[in-house]
Structure 1
Amino acid sequence: MQQHVSRSAEEWRATTLRKAQEKAAERRDRFETSSHIPVQPLYTAEDVQALDLHERIGFPGEFPYTRGVQPTMYRSRLWTMRQYAGFGTAEESNKRYHYLLSQGTTGLSVAFDLPTQIGYDADHALSEGEVGKVGVSISSLEDMETLLAGLPLERISTSMTINATASILLALYIAVAKKQGSDLRKISGTIQNDVLKEYIARGTYIYPPQHSMRIITDIFQYCAENIPRWNTISISGYHIREAGSTAAQEIAFTLSNAISYVQAALDAGLNVDKFAGQLSFFFNCHNNFFEEIAKFRAARQMWAHIMRERFHAQDPRSLMLRFHTQTAGSTLTAQQPDNNVVRTAYQAMAAVLGGTQSLHTNSKDEALSLPTEDSARLALRTQQILGYETGVADVVDPLAGSYFVESLTAQLEEQAWAYIQKIDELGGSVRAIELGYMQSEIEQAAYTYQLALEQEEAIVVGVNRFTQQHEPPAELLRVDPAIGRGQAAKLVTLRQRRDNEQVQQHLQALEAAARGSENLMPLIIEAVEAYATLGEISDTLRHIFGEQHEFRSFDA
């Protein structure tokens, strides 16, 4: 019997597909991504015929870097396997870092507690009950020396998730490296240092935007001259996505913030090719597998064009969007937490297929507490299995040319460019934040998703479908509440032991510099080396810069 073969997608839809749909209706009326891009049942060459694929995707290691920033990608070296860790005291966290390194992690990622993030010492009244809870407590050089004890700073890469106080934590890291005898030109790592997204999505800011931008550009300049291998900022879409944004918004708002940082550095007199190669990015990897892969490819391509055409960068490194990825914390569920292992594995694979340079896999218990040692090891093993057993790292950008992926990449890019244009019209990221525009867009996206959950248009296994009435209790990590008292007592002893007159001289010099235009980094380093505390330095800058409060809601 002669078998029918459709000659076009249109014919296939009209015949073969229509007959199948008449027999069994599709699961839902509308299929779409998180960015509300409709998903068709089939993609063919017709869906990409309007795209110049050779021009759009090129080759790995070449402009526009859609296929990756390195020609060989993981064939030469796997991505850096980081595990975000830090809790309680510096002593406890140091033990966890040594454990993770012994288990095969290739880079450290430091989590700080809330007081450290917003510039309060452990003995401040507002720190009570929060010391060591969501990360490690760091108030002084003494704490940082303990945190990094025995770690080979010239041989490992350290990422520090810190923003408003990034200059101080970097200064502490530099001070420890110097005391260890490390060559500062050889130490490598990243500070997040992305305060704009704090105003948008997370809230751990201290100073008004213009003063925060001044500190950030001071860091750019100092590191370009003294620590050339340090990534001075990790421009973060992660928290924007955690707050409820779509994938397209994550791209757009992250790149808009990056544009503002680059422009601020140029306005401060820096040469774009002197600092742009030290910029890095930090993205989320969510559940919609193909959309996430397309998101990373679109972001790389867009950034290359922004840097070349908007900022006229010449150095190829200035055009490369290098990024760290963390799997999506907001997708982890307290219900049936073992399911989180599966979610994380799929998200990690999407990040690798999307070409990440560094990856953190969340632990299964993080919807309930900080991860236990066992769950942190399992999260690391997830990456190791992905890298060494699955074969996905053996081919560079293996999904390039996929009709679906290329079409989705182009549509995400189109949505993201539209957002960037709107932000430019409002006066750039800082002004859009002050007006509440990005906050409002994220809130609307989060509300839309919550409605979809409640109406079961979006399914979360174990939460709104396939639930269990009785679940066994999970073994959780508990942070001893006595840690706060211990940290406060250590600060009392430190202040008695140090040269307080010298500390005051350094803080006064910092205050004078903050009133002027001198680079603040050398003065902050000198202050921490004299054992001035994080809170004392932050308060000195608060006195000059003031504090930022909530922004108003956007009125379209």
Structure 2
Amino acid sequence: MFDEEDLRSIRESKDEWEAETLDPALSTHGERRDRFATVSNLEVDRLYTPLDVSDIDYEDDVGFPGEEPYTRGVYPTMYRGRQWTMRQFAGFGTATETNERFHYLIDEGQTGLSTAFDMPTLMGIDSDDAMADGEVGKEGVAVDTLADMERLFDGIDVGEVSTSFTINPSAPVVYAMYLALADRQGVPREEIRGTLQNDMFKEFIAQKEWVVPPEPSLKLVTDVIEFACRETPKFKPVSVSGYHIREAGSTAVEELAFTLADGFAYVEDCIERGLDVDEFAPQLSFFFNSHNSIFEEVAKFRAARRIYARAMDEWYGAEADASKQLKFHTQTAGQSLTAQQPLNNVVRVTIQALAGVLGGTQSLHTNSFDEALALPSEEAVRVALRTQQIIGEESGAADIVDPLGGSFAVEALTDEMEEKAMAHIDHVREELGDGSVREGVLTGIEQGYFQREIQDSAYEYQERVEREEEVVVGVNAYAVEEETEPEVLKVDEAVQERQRERLAEAKADRDESEVEAALDDLRERVEADENVMPAVVDAVKAYATMGEIMAVFEAKYGSYRETAGVA
């Protein structure tokens, strides 16, 4: 972006500054430590100048918002036209209790719903299963049948609200329930909006929730994408999720690389299925973590858009602009929250949320300050939501498109992020996959490649914390003796009994012959290797349970046990 004469002059001026201004200051005062690095241990320089971005071509590498390579954002006006969707995560107890929280959040100004499910629902088993004992409604809402989905959205028009579902192994069933609910409400399927996480690769890599092995899991993901392209064009059928990869201990670079690799693997599977890339790619979405190192996070988001645009164009022949625009949801870093001095988390979340906004996110969840202790209380949820609203309405951060674009530091970090992430992606594609990202991801899962990389990064971070090289305020520095603890939300132990009673009622009220016919149709589709979604929708409409439907898949594909050595 600068000619050689300008760079020569800047280099000379920098040398003079170092000799006459910097060196005397260092001799007299020194610096706080010998090395400065991000949370991911990416070393940062003392000062960035045009010398650090001399190789950048503005039009090819940075450009303008709304135009390739989308480094500066996917929309030309970004938040000046429309703010990001404020989507707070919510779910606990029964559907009725979570419905009350949904209404509370809507009344407080939330612009999108985000649903957390309990562990039995996430794992595709019913609340009356012996394996569900003690877990019903504890980490999220319990959903066994369409009746629960009806209670969950009681008084909420699904044609008016965008809803996100954080669910993976049993994602096809939850998606089918939402479609059935829309049909019941008379909302045209082409009008429903929302996002289904439905990212099974990151489950095998990081979060560790699965029912069937990786390849049939991939088949089910692609079934949902194919069905959604034709039935629900405004609904995102997959949210490729780096969030959980980062929460498991990865660096920002690994989060970026592994998330995009997973996304490209889904693209390749859809193309192999026979779908045109411009038919399904516009409906793909991504989900990233936002951590404490604000400039690293902004650089990560900008690099993500650039890598994605180039790969979709050069590797997969995408022609539509929407196919090359990486759109993503951001959640602040749960792993960064501390049980000690929990109000400090308000500050952490604010910094992380600001990074997401400065990085150009399309929707945002801000964690509540008490989440290191329990499910968030109403007060904590309101503070988290107000954090977004203050950033959006008072800070001015939403008034300038890509306000850090052109910063020598941010542009240099964006380049470094891209280079380091591409090294991982190229390894997956070429070394593990012999030219195929899809095969590389599957091989990497089986061989434990991703798991080892994340494990090593998590261990190294914890070592830095133990050595106090990484300061965690209130934990290994500035600790105090705390006399009080904030009030936290506690899920009533009677929730399990109430949920099991409602499940028994749903079973008693349904037509068993309809259920069996629907499940038989599903088995036939599974055996024929056809898209299962039409049969899953019919099954949930007959009030087949989550467990009954997921059992069909497990009977055909078997279960999965991780065997790759990660030690």
Question: TM-score per shorter chain, which class?
Answer: over 0.9
Q: Take 1:436 and 1:514, find their aligned partners in 2: how far apart are those partners?
A: 29
Asked whether the 8 Å contact 1:86–1:93 carries over to 2, the reply is yes
Deviations along 1:414-446, one digit per CA (max 9) or x if unpaired, are 110000111111121111111100100000000
470, 481, 493: which one pairs with 2:482? 470
Asked whether the 8 Å contact 2:11–2:51 carries over to 1, the reply is no
Asked whether the 8 Å contact 1:37–1:411 carries over to 2, the reply is no
Partner of 1:321: 326
Partner of 1:30: 35
- Pairing 1:426–2:438 present: no
Deviations along 1:214-249, one digit per CA (max 9) or x if unpaired, are 111111111111110000100000000000000000
Q: Take 2:485 and 2:416, find their aligned partners in 1: how far apart are those partners?
A: 44
Partner of 1:258: 263
- Pairing 1:517–2:523 present: no
Q: Take 1:547 and 1:199, find their aligned partners in 2: how far apart are those partners?
A: 13
3-state SS of paired residue (1:302): helix
The residue type paired with residue 399 of structure 1 is: L
Q: TM-score, normalised by structure 1?
A: 0.98
- Pairing 1:147–2:152 present: yes
Kindly state the Cα deviation for residue 516 of structure 1 after the two structures are TM-superposed.
1.4
542, 545, 551: which one pairs with 2:557? 545
Asked whether the 8 Å contact 1:336–1:471 carries over to 2, the reply is no
Asked whether the 8 Å contact 1:249–1:416 carries over to 2, the reply is yes
Asked whether the 8 Å contact 2:96–2:152 carries over to 1, the reply is yes
3-state SS of paired residue (1:83): strand
Partner of 1:274: 279
Asked whether the 8 Å contact 2:333–2:367 carries over to 1, the reply is yes
Asked whether the 8 Å contact 2:536–2:549 carries over to 1, the reply is yes
Aligned residues: 551
484-493 or 434-443: bigger deviation: 484-493
Asked whether the 8 Å contact 1:433–1:551 carries over to 2, the reply is no
Q: Take 2:177 and 2:290, find their aligned partners in 1: how far apart are those partners?
A: 31
The residue type paired with residue 534 of structure 1 is: M
Q: Take 2:547 and 2:319, find their aligned partners in 1: how far apart are those partners?
A: 41
Q: Take 1:211 and 1:337, find their aligned partners in 2: how far apart are those partners?
A: 42
Partner of 2:288: 283
Partner of 2:204: 199
The residue type paired with residue 533 of structure 1 is: T
Partner of 1:133: 138
Q: Take 1:238 and 1:328, find their aligned partners in 2: how far apart are those partners?
A: 8
Q: Take 1:471 and 1:395, find their aligned partners in 2: how far apart are those partners?
A: 44
After TM superposition, which residue ranges in structure 1, 4 or more long, deviate above 6 angstroms?
Answer: none
Partner of 1:370: 375
Deviations along 1:33-69, one digit per CA (max 9) or x if unpaired, are 2343321111111111122233101100000000000
The residue type paired with residue 204 of structure 2 is: Y
Asked whether the 8 Å contact 2:341–2:482 carries over to 1, the reply is no
Taking only the aligned residue pairs, the percentage that are identical comes to: 51
Kindly state the Cα deviation for residue 554 of structure 1 after the two structures are TM-superposed.
5.5
3-state SS of paired residue (1:8): helix
- Pairing 1:443–2:455 present: yes
Q: Take 2:545 and 2:482, find their aligned partners in 1: how far apart are those partners?
A: 48
Q: Take 1:276 and 1:113, find their aligned partners in 2: how far apart are those partners?
A: 30
- Pairing 1:8–2:13 present: yes
Asked whether the 8 Å contact 2:117–2:141 carries over to 1, the reply is yes
538, 555, 561: which one pairs with 1:526? 538
Partner of 2:297: 292
Where does structure 1 lack aligned partners over 5 or more consecutive residues?
none
Partner of 1:304: 309
- Pairing 1:96–2:108 present: no
Supply the RMSD in Å over aligned alpha carbons. Answer: 1.2
Asked whether the 8 Å contact 1:237–1:253 carries over to 2, the reply is yes
Measured at CA, do residues 35 and 475 of structure 1 come closer, stay the same or move farther in structure 2, by a change above 3 Å? closer
The residue type paired with residue 409 of structure 2 is: F
- Pairing 1:417–2:422 present: yes
Asked whether the 8 Å contact 1:245–1:445 carries over to 2, the reply is yes
The residue type paired with residue 355 of structure 1 is: G
Q: Take 2:39 and 2:392, find their aligned partners in 1: how far apart are those partners?
A: 27
Measured at CA, do residues 6 and 533 of structure 1 come closer, stay the same or move farther in structure 2, by a change above 3 Å? closer
Where does structure 2 lack aligned partners over 5 or more consecutive residues?
1-9, 434-439
- Pairing 1:41–2:53 present: no
Partner of 1:483: 495
Q: Take 2:520 and 2:188, find their aligned partners in 1: how far apart are those partners?
A: 29
49-58 or 444-453: bigger deviation: 49-58
3-state SS of paired residue (2:165): strand
